[in-house]
Amino acid sequence: MQLMQSEPLDLGMEALSLNYWLGGNSHKARIIRSGQAKKQRRRATMLVLYWIRSGWVPAEPPIVVTLARVMGPKQRAFDADNLAGGLRYIRNGIADAYRIDDVESELVQWDYRQERGDKATTLVEIDRTALSGS
């Protein structure tokens, strides 16, 4: 199931709005970046918990989580390192919702992609899967 949001704090079917990008090359003050990162992580956790309670996504692993950065018309694509780094707070928030370690858990497969769109945003897909080796 693919979930996306264009309006912040709307907890309907389209439910993840991240109107700011926390890439590693941000030139904002450290305290501002830290606050934004915490907010982004908390928002991802709350929304995934809401999706789980609503039955829109699997309630427990094994799962495949796909994080997609949708680039606006004038944005450039990131390389693989910057893409994963820019989405790390969302990934941490999703892992918090499932109460797993996002690095060491073998129950979750993390995939990343980029696509072009009319407006910059983030897409999150969470699907049940039979992971290899389980």
pLDDT tens digit sequence for 64-88 = 999 988 888 888 888 888 888 888 9
CA distances from 37 to 20, 40, 57, 58, 66 (A): 10, 5, 24, 25, 19
> What's the whole-model pTM score?
0.74
Q: DSSP letter at 74?
A: T
* Domain 2-128 architecture: 2-Layer Sandwich (3.30)
Question: Domain residue spans in the chain?
Answer: 2-128
For residues 16 and 1, give the distance between their C-alpha atoms in angstroms, rounded to a whole number.
Answer: 13
Rg (CA), the chain: 14
pLDDT tens digit sequence for 18-56 = 444 444 455 666 676 778 888 889 999 999 999 999 998
